Chains A and B, each alone.
Chain A
Amino acid sequence: MKKRYTRRDFLKHAGIGAASLAAGPALLNNVFAQTPGKRTLRILQWSHFVPSHDKWFDVYAKEWGEKNNVDVVVDHIGLADLRSTFAAEVAAGKGHDIVEFIDPPSDFEPAVLDLADLNQEAVKRFGKQLPVATKSSYNPHTKKYYGFCHGWTIDPGDYRKSLWEKAGKPNGPATWDDLLVYGAKIKNEQGVQLGIGISQELDSNMAERTLLWSFDTSIQDESSNVVLDNPKTVEAVKFMIELYQKTMTPEVFGWTAASNNQLLLAGRASYILNSISAYRSAQKDVPEVAKDVFFTPALKGPRGTAHACEHVIYVTMVPKFAEKNADLAKRFLLDRVANYDRAMWESKLYNSPAFFSAPVPAGERGYPAVAKSKSLRDLHNAWFGKDPFALPGERTDKLLPLMDAEKWSVNVGYPGAANPAEGEIFGTFVLPGMFARVAQGKQTAEESVKQAAGQCKIIFDKWRAQGLIGKK
């Protein structure tokens, strides 16, 4: 017979439910509790675009823990959730011991430890750090290392060689003007467009900064003053509008970060600005397209300047609430740099080191030994000279133009350091808006630049008041 559910049963079960609700915070508290006798190091980072990297890293972290008598827990989450997750941890005062971002998270500076000692030790052990890395993890105003940068990713131009050969430019564009002239020719004669986004997403943000820098202008100067409203920015905006009108379609306004990859893989883009991950995806999914994809370094602007934004910058932070594990975190991060050859290899050369002079560890490293490679620079040069991941029958020298990418790659905020104002301008898509208003005929280039500069000044003033950016 079916048992009748009485009011008393209900009260009893409701009581258990209420007790569980009350115990909830205590249970949550235990999630971040230490295991007695053995310390635990918790790491939060993004799910890498190249899955083999995470597969290796998780094993590496576990083995590192075993060697150091530490439980290492690695949580990978989607890139889009990283900021909100860490913001929640900062508000709660509890969470992971190491948090890794792929853009400069300078607005979290007040919530994290100063890693000056870690950075100094790393320089002592591994040699000079690349400026793009230092400028993405050090605040020159507060003189605080809010992060530690172990690596970065190059952001080259990816072009379809067969299309550019037919257009009479077999080695792809060397200047922004080439992009306009030959890009238009390819679109008109071969029906294939360019793929540089003007959308509210990451890649468009980087592309527009790349264009501004190559036109000798920027949002801020070296001393964090807003200098966007100048004739060179207007020139860059006018150029971009002409480029859009002659070589692209309205789809570039509605792109997500994956759209330019998709366009390249679909064989419908003659040139995109993206890391080599787009090419690696093509190698896996559409090898015939991959074999036709080649790379250019940063394109030269009208006065010969050539800069490109780093595509990814790995900045790790140790929150103040994790101070008791700071020694472990710093040891882990130093060892991570010491093993960066594996990160380069397992990410299929997506990761480049911030410390090129770091020595290559001896012994079996999980990849074919490279003769005479003593430092990461030697390895980098050898692999970029002869790509070990090239498909059978594919040219192996495609990455050669990117060998010295650190010379033309710069940080968000260049020529100054990364700061929270640059971060907010990046995160709220002020630059894509500046270009789009003109492309859609809503404003002249001069008006749009003035509006964007006004928005930037308000944002800079706000963060100045927070004490994170220097006075004018």
Chain B
Amino acid sequence: MRMPRLFERETVLAPLMLVPVALYMLLLVGFPFLMAFVYSFSNVTVGNPEFHMTGFGNFSAVLRDPVFLKSLLNTCIFTFTSIGLVLVLSNMLTELLMREFRFKWLIRFLIMLPWTAPIALGTIGYLWFLDSVFSPLDWLLRSWGLLGKPQALLGPMSNLYWLGRPGLAMASVIVVHIWRLLPLATMIRIAGMNSIPREVIEAAQVDGAGYYRRLFHIVLPLLLPVISVTVLFSTLFTFTDMTVVWVLTKGGPPDNSTQVLASLAFLKGIQGGDLAQGAAVSLFFFPVLAGLAAVVLRLAKKAVVT
């Protein structure tokens, strides 16, 4: 049976094919976002869907809350430390994986492994790894004499209590988040590297450019669009994600040492029952993140053109 001629026209077919995506965006992204926006200006609670509009009351209440300010600081530390380290580490891994060596496939497979398991499951594995009693990491440190003896480098206690000390807990959530993000960042970088014409690199080599000159004057500028996109997605993803923090520390150790905005929004909105303030916390940085997205996308576009 022939399709109607109407569908042969690009002006009809193209919008039609966009409909599923548009519907998806509208129903599963746009509608919840709109609800969150409305909720943040209301007094809605989990137990009472009927609500009144309260203006900017939730936002001013949230701004006066010391837990919010601490969570904001934690979110910045968590995001920018993770992203900075992911950039450096993914660069190193890319350099390694661009070379030929034995068992390269195995290394690639191991690097991709964090993406094969659900993140919550992987993080639960880390929960055991960092356990206050059974941590195998502590066991290794003890067996190497670095922990658990009066003169030991890391102290006389039998364990480091990774998730019980504010600094170590923050370091732990950052490391696990890096473990989660690194495969994607590395694969994007490898794809970017493969797109750089070999003759450009070879010409620089012939002209006597060393490794660092090639890296900073040729490779990185050419990779800028790819890096921009990686940074954009990783930053947005990290800023709005709570999985690692929630599974490992629930925002603790007290007093909210690793609480981030996303986990605070859940804590206030669902655990605390105040859906309106939870929505206000989650939307607080929407304008900043939206602006950031616009800037990075513009940067990427500009880099492609030049």
Q: In the complex, are the beta carbons of A436 and B255 less than 8 A apart?
A: yes
Contact across chains for B165 and A8 when beta carbons are under 8 A apart? no
> How many Å from the CB of A438 to the closest CB on chain B?
10
* Cβ–Cβ < 8 Å partners of B133 in chain A: 251, 259, 262-263, 266, 268
- Set of chain A residues within 8 Å of B240, measured between Cβ atoms: none
Least distance between B255 CB and chain A CB atoms (Å): 4
B-chain residues with CB within 8 Å of residue A110 when the two chains form the complex: 45, 47-48, 50
Quick one: which of A109, A201, A266, A451 contacts B47, CB cutoff 8 A?
A109
A265 to chain B: closest residue by CB: B133
Residues of A within 8 Å of B131, CB to CB, are: 262
B267 nearest in chain A by CB position = A428
B144-179 vs A, CB cutoff 8 Å, 1 = contact: the mask equals 000000000000010101111110010000000000
Please tell me if A302 contacts chain B, counting CB pairs below 8 Å: no
| Chain B: interface residue total (CB-CB under 8 A) | 49
* Interface: A226 (CB within 8 A): no
CA distance A263 to B48 in the complex (A): 40
Does A90 reach chain B (CB closer than 8 Å)? yes
B249 lies within 8 A of A90 (CB): no
Given known A-B contacts A21-B23, A110-B47, A428 and B254 have beta carbons under 8 A apart: no
CA distance A256 to B246 in the complex (A): 11
Give the interface size bracket for A toward B. Answer: 35 or more
Q: Contacts A11-B3, A252-B164, A254-B162 given: A87-B270 contact, CB under 8 Å?
A: yes
Instruction: Flag whether A111 is at the interface (Cβ < 8 A).
Output: yes
Return B196 CB to nearest CB of chain A, in Å. 34
By beta carbon, the residue of chain B nearest A436 is B254
A428 cross-chain contacts in B, Cβ below 8 A:
67, 267-268, 271-272
Residue contact A199 to B254, C-beta cutoff 8 Å: yes
Chain A, residues 63-106, CB within 8 Å of chain B (1/0): the string is: 00000000000000000000110010011010000000000010
| Complex CA–CA separation, A459 to B23 (angstroms) | 39
Collect the chain A residues with CB atoms within 8 Å of residue B270's CB.
83-84, 87
Asked whether any CB of chain B lies closer than 8 Å to the CB of A286, the reply is: no
Residues of chain A with a CB closer than 8 A to B208's CB:
none
Please determine whether A111 and B161 come into contact, CB atoms closer than 8 angstroms: no
Q: Determine the distance from Cα of A268 to Cα of B132 in the docked complex, in whole angstroms.
A: 11
Contact B46 A200 (CB under 8 A): no
A18 lies within 8 A of B19 (CB): yes
Query: Which residues on the B side are within 8 Å of A423 (C-beta)?
Result: 272-273
Residues of chain B within 8 A (CB-CB) of A427 are 267, 271-273
B251 close to A (CB within 8 Å): yes
B161 close to A249 (CB less than 8 A): yes
Instruction: List the A residue with the shortest CB-CB distance to B58.
Output: A462
A429 interface hit (Cβ, 8 Å): yes
Asked if A145 is at the interface (CB within 8 A of a chain B CB), the reply is no
* Contact (Cβ within 8 A) B164 A251: yes
Task: Confirm or deny: A123 has a beta carbon within 8 angstroms of a beta carbon on chain B.
Answer: no
Distance A200 CA – B256 CA, assembled complex (angstroms): 8
Q: Is A29 part of the binding interface, using a Cβ–Cβ cutoff of 8 Å?
A: no
Chain A residue, CB-CB nearest to B272: A424
Smallest distance from the beta carbon of B25 to chain A beta carbons, Å? Answer: 13
Q: Which residues of A contact B67 (CB under 8 A)?
A: 428, 433, 455
Query: In the assembled complex, which residues on chain B have CB atoms less than 8 Å from the CB atom of A433?
Result: 67, 254-256
